[in-house]
Structure 1
Amino acid sequence: MNENAASSLQAAGKIDGPSSSWASEFRATFALAWPLVIAQLAQNALHTTDVILLGWLGSTYLAAGTLATTFLMPFLVGGIGVVGAVAPLVAQARGSRDIKAVRRIVRQGCWAAIALAAALVPIVLQIKPIYQALGQDPAATELADQFIQIAAWSLFPALGIIAFRSLLSAFDATRAILVITVFGVLINALTAYVLIFGHFGFPRLELRGAAIATTLTNVFMLLAMVLYVIRHRRLKRFHVLLRFWKPDWPRFREIFRIGTPIGLTVLAEVGMFTAAALLMGRLGTDEVAAHAIALQCASIAFMVPLGLGIAATVRVGMAYGRGDVEGVRKAGWTSFVMGTAFMTFSCISFLTFGPHIVTVFLDPHVEANANSLTLAASFLVVAGIFQLVDGAQVVAAHSLRGLSDTKVPMLLAIVGYWMVGLPIAYVLGFVANMRGVGIWIGLAAGLAFVAVVLVTRFAMRERLNLLNGMRPA
Structure 2
Amino acid sequence: MHTDTIEAQKAPLSPGGWERELRATLMLAWPLALTNLSQIALVLTDTLFLGRIGELPLAAVTLGGNLYFIALSPAFGAAFAASAMLAQERGRVRHHMREMRRTVRAAAWLGLPLFLVLGTLLWNTGALLLAAGQDPALAAEAQRYNRALLWGMPFFYGFAVLRGFLAAMGRPAPALWVSALAIGVNAALLYVLVAGGLGVSSMGVVGAGLSSAIANGSMLLGLALWIMRDRQLSRFRLMGRFWRADWRRIGEMVAVGLPIAGSMLLEIGIFSATALVMGWFNPTAVAAHAVALQVASACFMVPMGIGQAATARVGLAAGADDAQAAWRAGWVAIGLGGGFMALTATVLLLLPGPVAALFLAPELGEARALAATLLMVAGVFQLSDGVQAVAAGALRGLKDTRLPLLFAALGYWGLGLPIGLGLGFPGGWGPLGVWIGLASGLAVVAVLMTLRWAQLAGRGRTRPIRLAVQPG
Output the TM-score relative to the length of structure 2: 0.88
**Deviation at residue 242 of structure 1 after TM alignment:** 1.1
Structure 1 residues without counterparts, runs of 5 or longer:
none
In structure 2, what is the equivalent of residue 259 of structure 1?
257
CA contact 2:79–2:161 (8 Å) conserved in 1? yes
* 3-state SS in 1 of match to 2:333: helix
Q: Give the percent of matched residue pairs that are identical in Structure 1 and Structure 2.
A: 38
1:206-264 deviations in whole A, cap 9, x for unaligned?
Answer: 44443333322222211211122222112111111111111110111111111111111
Residue 404 of structure 2, aligned match among 405, 409, 415: 409
In structure 2, what is the equivalent of residue 229 of structure 1?
227
CA contact 1:461–1:467 (8 Å) conserved in 2? no
Residues 146 and 178 of structure 1: CA distance in aligned 2, closer, same or farther (over 3 Å) = same
Matched, 1:25 2:24: no
Matched, 1:80 2:76: yes
- Counterpart of 2:231, as a letter, is R
CA contact 1:83–1:112 (8 Å) conserved in 2? no
The farther-off stretch of 16-25 and 161-170 is 16-25
In structure 1, what is the equivalent of residue 316 of structure 2?
318
1:254-287 deviations in whole A, cap 9, x for unaligned?
Answer: 1111111111111101121223334444555665
- Counterpart of 1:441, as a letter, is I
CA contact 1:8–1:238 (8 Å) conserved in 2? no
CA contact 1:72–1:124 (8 Å) conserved in 2? yes
In structure 1, what is the equivalent of residue 124 of structure 2?
126
CA contact 2:353–2:372 (8 Å) conserved in 1? yes
> 2: CA distance between counterparts of 1:143 and 1:56?
16
Structure 2 residues without counterparts, runs of 5 or longer:
none
In structure 1, what is the equivalent of residue 465 of structure 2?
466
Matched, 1:440 2:435: yes
Residue 44 of structure 1, aligned match among 40, 43, 50: 40
> 2: CA distance between counterparts of 1:469 and 1:31?
24
In structure 2, what is the equivalent of residue 69 of structure 1?
65
- Counterpart of 2:12, as a letter, is D
CA contact 1:301–1:343 (8 Å) conserved in 2? yes
> 1: CA distance between counterparts of 2:145 and 2:368?
32
> 2: CA distance between counterparts of 1:362 and 1:144?
19
CA contact 2:377–2:436 (8 Å) conserved in 1? yes
* 3-state SS in 2 of match to 1:84: helix
- Counterpart of 1:275, as a letter, is A
Residue 420 of structure 1, aligned match among 410, 415, 418: 415
Output the TM-score relative to the length of structure 1: 0.88
- Counterpart of 2:424, as a letter, is G
> 1: CA distance between counterparts of 2:50 and 2:358?
20
**Deviation at residue 376 of structure 1 after TM alignment:** 4.4
- Counterpart of 2:49, as a letter, is L
Aligned residues, how many?
464
1:170-217 deviations in whole A, cap 9, x for unaligned?
Answer: 112211011000111111222333344665587765444433333222
Residues 244 and 33 of structure 1: CA distance in aligned 2, closer, same or farther (over 3 Å) = same
1:138-176 deviations in whole A, cap 9, x for unaligned?
Answer: 555444444433432222212111111110111122110
Residue 378 of structure 2, aligned match among 380, 383, 386: 383
Residues 380 and 193 of structure 1: CA distance in aligned 2, closer, same or farther (over 3 Å) = closer
* 3-state SS in 1 of match to 2:456: coil
> 1: CA distance between counterparts of 2:33 and 2:438?
24
Residue 334 of structure 2, aligned match among 336, 339, 358: 336
> 2: CA distance between counterparts of 1:66 and 1:48?
11
> 2: CA distance between counterparts of 1:62 and 1:384?
23
Residues 154 and 459 of structure 1: CA distance in aligned 2, closer, same or farther (over 3 Å) = same
The farther-off stretch of 423-432 and 446-455 is 423-432
